[in-house]
Structures are given as structure tokens and as C-alpha cells.
């Protein structure tokens, strides 16, 4: 089994390498590739020292799996070239998510969308993964009609640039290459991605589109994305309106029995999920589970996950594992 990671020196790329070791996919050969400026760098993988190669060299190595985390532009340039050689490409960027013939996958929810011919598979946005891990099992039982989502996203979602900006500002230093248009330290910024003509940001539009593609649904979705001065872990306030009346204890039971979801909800003991508790964990944590009394069939949830792990690296590796087990001999 030969696996390539494209963008191996980045924040998510490094985490992908870590998760590949944890998942023990019986990899015989690992290829690590990145941009021209990183070629020749040394990376540790499972006790071995690997040398970063060019993406062209990675293509020539003919890997069975190539996991991309190098941005949409790189994915658009190179993913099809890997796929044309028979490699299964799993892409973390937004490049392929809207293509109707390319599956957008959260393995716990819609792994069956992947076929033997799916040589490019898109990884959803981190906030979509986190939110749908909680919402999808409830949708299966009670049929979600509408979602109102507010996200509170950590700076790690902007990669090293976001981390560096917050760190510099906390030290009282100027950041020469900021991730955000204004200060993030001691601030919150209601801005995620570029603004569209409809006044929504790209991150907000991803939640709308990706939810319905993954669930094969027509749910009304509206979202507000907020960047917060937290280093890691995304949080989301999710207001759900069902088509059917629900039982609150049944909701908690469904969530508690959902693989990959952990209910953390005891208001008497001040127990609820926070970004800090999600650090370097794969679980999606759900709390503040309560009825929305302003509408007849409404529910409120607070959902938290490590955006670099389940929101990106772990989900991609889970897809790779599914492909290996089902389509690679």
C-alpha cells in the first residue's frame, strides 16, 4: 500500500500523517509532497525520516491513495492527474465539493456514496462535518426542515497564518502577514471567507450547500460564521426545526448511541462541551440539548469538535480507510 500526502508540511497535512499512524492502515510506502519551497525538508512519519518531494514526483510514484491538503488551486491543478493514473484522491479543499459527480463524504453518514469509480472524493468543510455528525442521525428519525447555525471558529481553521496572527497580537506585536482583516486578539470577527453578492461569506455558503449534498436533502439552511480568538476547536450553536414532533429523551438517546458523537450535557454540574476539551480528539461533543419553545418542533444544540482532526485530517483518513477496505485489493 502506497499513500501520498500532498501539503504534508501544513497544519492539516501534519495531522493527517499523525492520524495515518494512529489508524494503522498498513502503509508500505509513504510519499510526502509539498510546494517548491518545502522540497528537501525532512518529516518524521512513524519513526521514519521522510524527504519532502515535488508534487510531480509524487504523481510519478503512482500511489494507491493521495490525500490533498494544499488548497483548492493545487487540487485543481493536480488531483485529476493522480486520478487518471488510478489513484484514489481525497481532497480537503473546496475545489471539488460542488461537482455533481464527485462524492462529498462523512463516512459515518454517507460512505455509500463512494464507488469503485470515485477516484476523486471531496472532504467537507470542518463546520459541516462537526454539525452533521450531530444532526444527521436526528434527521433520519425526525426529518429536519430547517437549520439556523452560528459558528464560533478557532484560528487554526486559517492554518499557520491564523495561529501566527493571534500569537503575535497576544504578545503585542505587529503581524506582517495576517489571516484576518482586523485584530483577532480580544475580538470576534463575523467574517469567514470572501463575501458573495448575496452578502453571505464563502464559509456560510458551504454549510448551506454541503449539508444538502451530503444528506441528499432539501433542508432550509442559514448560517453566520464568526472567527474567535481560540487556538483550536470549532463550536456551533445549531437550531433545528423538525417536520415531526420529537421526544427530547429520545434525541439524547440517539446522539448518545451515534458512533463518533459524545453527549456531554449535565447543566446541574456545569457540564457542556468547550473547544479546549476537544483538543486532539476525534469525537464530536454535543451539549446544551434543549427544546426551542419559540417554535413547535424546534431543538437547540451546542456542538464542538477539533477542526483539524475530525473536521479535516481524521475524516480524510476515514475515507481512505473505507476506500482501502472496499476497492483496493
- Contact status, residue 178 vs residue 187, Cβ threshold 8 Å: no
Question: What's the CA gap between 229 and 109, in Å, rounded?
Answer: 31
182 noted as active-site residue: no
Q: What burial letters (b/e) apply to 67-104, b meaning 16+ CB within 10 Å?
A: bbbbbbebbeebbeebbeeebbbbbbbbbbbeeeebbb
From the list 119, 130, 175, 234, the catalytic residue is: 234
Measure Cα distances from 21 to 51, 99, 100, 102 in Å: 17, 31, 32, 27
Question: What's the CA gap between 16 and 46, in Å, rounded?
Answer: 12
Sequence-ordered strand ranges (E) for 154-297: 220-227, 234-242, 261-263, 284-292
Question: What's the CA gap between 319 and 239, in Å, rounded?
Answer: 28
Question: What's the CA gap between 177 and 175, in Å, rounded?
Answer: 6
Q: What angle do CA 193, 153, 261 make, to 5 degrees?
A: 125
From the list 126, 130, 139, 175, the catalytic residue is: 126
Torsion of CA 63, 68, 71, 76, to 10 degrees: 50
Question: What's the CA gap between 55 and 39, in Å, rounded?
Answer: 9
Question: What's the CA gap between 298 and 146, in Å, rounded?
Answer: 9
Question: What's the CA gap between 124 and 137, in Å, rounded?
Answer: 17
What residues act catalytically? 126, 234
Amino acid at each position: 500500500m502506497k499513500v501520498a500526502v500532498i501539503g504534508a508540511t501544513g497544519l492539516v497535512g501534519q495531522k493527517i500523517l499523525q492520524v495515518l499512524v494512529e489508524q494503522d492502515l498498513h502503509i508500505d510506502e509513504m510519499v510526502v509532497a509539498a510546494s517548491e519551497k518545502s522540497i528537501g525538508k525532512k518529516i518524521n512519519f512513524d519513526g521514519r525520516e521522510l524527504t519532502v518531494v515535488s508534487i510531480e514526483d509524487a504523481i510519478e510514484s503512482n500511489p494507491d491513495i493521495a490525500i490533498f491538503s494544499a488548497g483548492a488551486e493545487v487540487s485543481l491543478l493536480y488531483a485529476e492527474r493522480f486520478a487518471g493514473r488510478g489513484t484514489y484522491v481525497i481532497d480537503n479543499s473546496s475545489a471539488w465539493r460542488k461537482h455533481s459527480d464527485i462524492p462529498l463524504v462523512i463516512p459515518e453518514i454517507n460512505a455509500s456514496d463512494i464507488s469503485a469509480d470515485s477516484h476523486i472524493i471531496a472532504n467537507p468543510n470542518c463546520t459541516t462535518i462537526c454539525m452533521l455528525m450531530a444532526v444527521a442521525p436526528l434527521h433520519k428519525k425526525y426529518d429536519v426542515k430547517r437549520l439556523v447555525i452560528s459558528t464560533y471558529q478557532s484560528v487554526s481553521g486559517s492554518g499557520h497564518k491564523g495561529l501566527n496572527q493571534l500569537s503575535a497580537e497576544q504578545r503585542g506585536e505587529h503581524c506582517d502577514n495576517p489571516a484576518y482583516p482586523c485584530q483577532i486578539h480580544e475580538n470576534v470577527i463575523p467574517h469567514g471567507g470572501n463575501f458573495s453578492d448575496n452578502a453571505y461569506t464563502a464559509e456560510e455558503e458551504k454549510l448551506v450547500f454541503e449539508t444538502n449534498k451530503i444528506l441528499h436533502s432539501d433542508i432550509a439552511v442559514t448560517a453566520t460564521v464568526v472567527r474567535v480568538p481560540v487556538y483550536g476547536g470549532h463550536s456551533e450553536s445549531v437550531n433545528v426545526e423538525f417536520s415531526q414532533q420529537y421526544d427530547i429523551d429520545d434525541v439524547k438517546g440517539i446522539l448518545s448511541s451515534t458512533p463518533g458523537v459524545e453527549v456531554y450535557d449535565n447543566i446541574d454540574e456545569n457540564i457542556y462541551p468547550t473547544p479546549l476539551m476537544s483538543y486532539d480528539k476525534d469525537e464530536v461533543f454535543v451539549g446544551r440539548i434543549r427544546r426551542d419553545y419559540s417554535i413547535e418542533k424546534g431543538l437547540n444544540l451546542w456542538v464542538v469538535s477539533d477542526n483539524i482532526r475530525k473536521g479535516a485530517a481524521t475524516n480524510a483518513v476515514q475515507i481512505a480507510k473505507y476506500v482501502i477496505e472496499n476497492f483496493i485489493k
